[in-house]
Chain A
Amino acid sequence: MGVSFYNQNPFATPAKVSKNHRKLKRTSSISYIIMDKQIFNIGRLIDFQWKLGVSVSSNKCEELNTPFISVFLKVLDTNNQTISQSFELTLPEFQDFAQQFKDMSALMESL
């Protein structure tokens, strides 16, 4: 559970997982300590699935032809309950969503 639980998620490639495992072994034995001690958190992301599609037609428009991205998230909350939520993004909304993750990642790298 904990950190490694997410690493076994469906989208991590084996190469990535083993790289992470190596990294964990090498640098972050502290991660294991944290896992063992069960530090609380406000919810842990355990799955991130997505689907890219195109809306073709609707009753209001026969030529919709608009791409969309569906995102499905599973979060393990503080009571150890799994919450699943999905939402849909248009392209501009997705670009914004993506940018926020990029910003977060860039800042985290600098920590």
Chain B
Amino acid sequence: MEAKQFQSLLGFLLKREYEKDESLSSLSSLQEMIFSGSDLTEEFILSTYNKCINIIERASYSDVDLTAFESLIKDNDFTQQQQEGLTKFWKTNKKKIHDIVNRRTRFNNSLDKMSWRLDLKTKSKDVEEMNEPTAIVELDLTKNLRSSTEKKQQQQKIRFEMDRNQLQDTLEQINIIQKLINGNGDYIYYRPSEQVNRRVSIKHNTEYLNQSF
């Protein structure tokens, strides 16, 4: 198998197994697309393909780094050329595969799209004059159910408006999250004591702080 063909095989594998490209669902297209005109047997191509899947699944299971990956493929009977190809593949696609694997076990809804618009309310039926800016936000959510037939029904939109104060309050929360992500653990939380519902909510929001990552 030529180096170029092996690279294409790995590219096919990434598209079919991870990116779930539906046009590649049949394995026979592998032979048509990459190995047409070559004298390699279908059996040989499939066994190489399966060997590659196997090694990549093992590598992604342990999320191994490049050095560990190199020693992992050394233990399997890949040719020198294939080893180089696989190393190159892992180097470029490790993060992508990790992200895809992570996303597959997301059971909560995901946010597909966010659209917003700023309006200035000027007049209404009962109010002669007002000058209130308002932010209208629309969020497109998708429920992560595995069944593809239900997919269409599982999309949902939420629309809401925020006035200046609401937007500021929400942004303040977002800034807190960003500070936490950036590792500013010294962010001081105010824990109000006079209102039970506040205390519970803020405790809920901070209970993950103790985890280090």
The residues of A with any CB-CB pair to B shorter than 8 Å are 3, 6-7, 9-16, 20, 23-24, 30-31, 33-34, 37, 39, 41-45, 48-55, 58-70, 73, 75, 83, 85-91, 93-98, 100-102, 104-105, 107-108, 111
Contacts and interface: CB of A to CB of B under 8 A. Distances in A.
Contact of B173 (A3, A48, A55): A48
Q: Which 3 A-B pairs have the closest CB atoms?
A: A10-B201, A63-B63, A88-B108
B102 A52 contact: no
B60 to A, nearest CB: 6
Given A51-B204, A108-B133, A45 B170 contact: yes
Nearest to B134: A41
14 contacts: A7-B169, A11-B201, A30-B131, A54-B208, A58-B105, A59-B105, A60-B61, A61-B61, A64-B102, A73-B160, A87-B108, A90-B103, A94-B177, A111-B133
B170 A48 contact: yes
Contacts of A98: 174-175, 177-178
Interface in B134-186: 134-137, 139, 141, 156, 158-175, 177-178, 180-181
A60 B60 contact: yes
A61 B126 contact: no
A16 B168 CA distance: 10
Contacts of A24: 165
Contacts of A83: 158
B3 to A, nearest CB: 29
B23 to A, nearest CB: 24
B78 interface: no
A42 B165 contact: no
Given A14-B192, A45-B166, A58-B105, A75 B160 contact: yes
Contacts, number: 197
A111 B156 CA distance: 31
Nearest to A75: B160
Contacts of B104: 60
B144 to A, nearest CB: 9
**SS class of chain A's interface: helix, strand, loop or mixed?**
mixed
Nearest to B207: A51
Contacts of B166: 3, 6, 45
A42 to B, nearest CB: 5
Given A49-B201, A54-B211, A108-B133, A69 B158 contact: no
B169 A9 contact: yes
B24 interface: no
B161 A45 contact: yes
B197 interface: yes
Given A52-B177, A75-B158, A87-B111, A60 B105 contact: yes
Nearest to A73: B158
Contacts of A63: 61-63
B198 A85 contact: no
